[in-house]
């Protein structure tokens, strides 16, 4: 009970992140295919989430560029946001994500004056349909389709490596999870396409990985460990140009990101879900060489 009380206090603190945090990951989705699982019918889930990443290098086209003009110079991204999920019917669910975002650095200023871009993050509204439910047969995965809208945030879109994509639009995605063995070993994955206005490039994205779930007793019901690969690729756009202190960047730049991801998800007997995750860049184009850290706590608030 003491551990549960501490967790609830952390959730209350986490609920303040949208008010005090200073940046956001670009269009975050629940990690490791979790979005493919729908709430129980009539259930409302509230998820405060926070991500942070700090980087000192980026890929200019395919070349690595170090932004440290003095030691410890870098670029900070932070995220504070809230996700809402609601199951409408047996196979249908709604989701919405809102938050606050910023990026802060001084690397492109000759006088080394700090610069910050902050504001409302790109918001999302989605409708999900569960195409198949795991357990009907040995081969059948949990398979879900999602159609979503994207509303551009209020940050400066052409700030170098802005904490958002700089356009409104829509996306279509498919995701799955599949438990392969009785001991809890399984797979997850998703893929999708985004289309946005203001000449933002179309984007293909996806991830694939392994999952291991361990059943527990007491207040903790289960622990899941995940490890996988994530890829995001714009289909058009120019490269970053210019010098280190006179960088030419816009929201139309073509970005490519290849990374590995991993995390731990803990579910308690009341249905609360606590998640910690990391993502580390392996390769890319016109994108930061970053390590991202994320926290999320999902709380079921009502169910009829």
pLDDT at 118 over 60: yes
Residue 303's pLDDT band, with cuts at 50, 70 and 90, is low
User: Tell me, what's the pLDDT at 41?
Assistant: 85
Number of domain units in the chain: 1
CB atoms within 10 A of CB 237: 17
pLDDT tens digits for 89-107? 999 999 999 999 999 999 9
Stretch 198-219: mean pLDDT, rounded?
Answer: 95
Tell me what pLDDT residue 4 has.
44
Mean pLDDT check: name the lowest of 5-19, 40-54, 82-96, 213-227. 5-19
Each residue's pLDDT tens digit, 143-156: 999 999 999 999 99
Taking the C-alpha atoms of residue 104 and residue 161, their distance in angstroms, rounded to an integer, is: 10
Is the model's pLDDT at 9 over the cut of 60?
no
CATH number, domain with residue 279: 2.40.160.40
Question: What is the per-residue pLDDT for 26?
Answer: 65
pLDDT at 49: 95
CA distance 183 to 215: 9
For residue 284, name the pLDDT band (cuts at 50, 70, 90).
very high
Q: Which two tokens stand for residue 156?
A: 């400066």
Extract the tokens encoding 109: 């200023």
- The mean-pLDDT minimum among 14-28, 89-103, 216-230, 274-288 falls in 14-28
Give the mean model confidence (pLDDT) for residues 186-198. 96
Which of the four pLDDT bands, split at 50, 70 and 90, describes residue 18?
very low
Q: Please return the burial class of 113, using the count of CB atoms within 10 Å of its CB with bins 0-12, 13-18 and 19+.
A: exposed
The three-state secondary structure class of 34 is helix
Instruction: Select, from the ranges 21-30, 64-73, 195-204, the one with the highest average predicted confidence (pLDDT).
Output: 195-204
Report which DSSP code applies to 41. Answer: T
For residues 146 and 174, what is the distance between their CA atoms, to the nearest angstrom?
6
Question: Could you give the 3-state DSSP secondary structure of residue 6?
Answer: helix
Domain encompassing residue 257: 2-302
| Nearest Cα residue to 24 out of 97, 112, 86, 94 | 97
One DSSP character per residue, 101-153 reads EEEEE-TT-TT---EEEEEEPPEEEEEEEEEE-TTSSTT--EEEEEEEEEE--
Does the structure show a pLDDT above 70 at 255?
A: yes
Give the predicted TM-score (pTM) of the model: 0.88
Residue tagged 């005090």 (tokens): 20
What is residue 79's DSSP assignment? E
């Amino acid at each position: 009970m003491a551990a549960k009380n501490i967790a609830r206090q952390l959730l209350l603190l986490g609920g303040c992140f949208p008010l005090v945090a200073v940046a956001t990951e670009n269009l975050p989705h629940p990690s490791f295919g979790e979005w493919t699982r729908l709430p129980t019918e009539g259930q409302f889930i509230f998820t405060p989430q926070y991500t942070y990443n700090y980087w000192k290098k980026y890929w200019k086209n395919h070349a690595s560029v170090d932004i440290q003009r003095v030691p410890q110079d870098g670029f900070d991204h932070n995220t504070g946001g809230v996700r809402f999920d609601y199951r409408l019917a047996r196979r249908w669910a709604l989701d919405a994500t809102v938050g606050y975002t910023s990026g802060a650095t001084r690397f492109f200023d000759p006088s080394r004056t700090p610069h910050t871009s902050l504001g409302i993050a790109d918001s999302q509204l989605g409708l999900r349909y569960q195409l198949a439910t795991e357990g009907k047969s040995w081969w059948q995965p949990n398979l879900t389709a999602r159609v979503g809208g994207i509303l551009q945030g209020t940050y400066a879109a052409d700030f170098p490596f802005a904490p958002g994509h700089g356009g409104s639009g829509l996306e279509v995605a498919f995701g799955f999870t599949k438990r392969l063995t009785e001991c809890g070993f399984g797979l997850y994955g998703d893929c999708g396409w985004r289309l946005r206005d203001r000449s933002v490039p179309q984007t293909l994205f996806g991830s694939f990985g392994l999952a291991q779930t361990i059943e527990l007793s007491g207040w903790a019901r289960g622990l899941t460990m995940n490890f996988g690969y994530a890829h995001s690729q714009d289909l058009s756009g120019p490269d970053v140009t210019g010098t280190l202190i006179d960088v030419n960047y816009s929201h139309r730049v073509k970005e490519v990101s290849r990374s590995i991801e991993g995390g731990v998800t803990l579910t308690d007997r009341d249905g609360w879900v606590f998640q910690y995750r990391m993502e580390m860049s392996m390769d890319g184009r016109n994108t930061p060489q970053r390590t991202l850290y994320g926290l999320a706590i999902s709380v079921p608030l009502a169910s009829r």
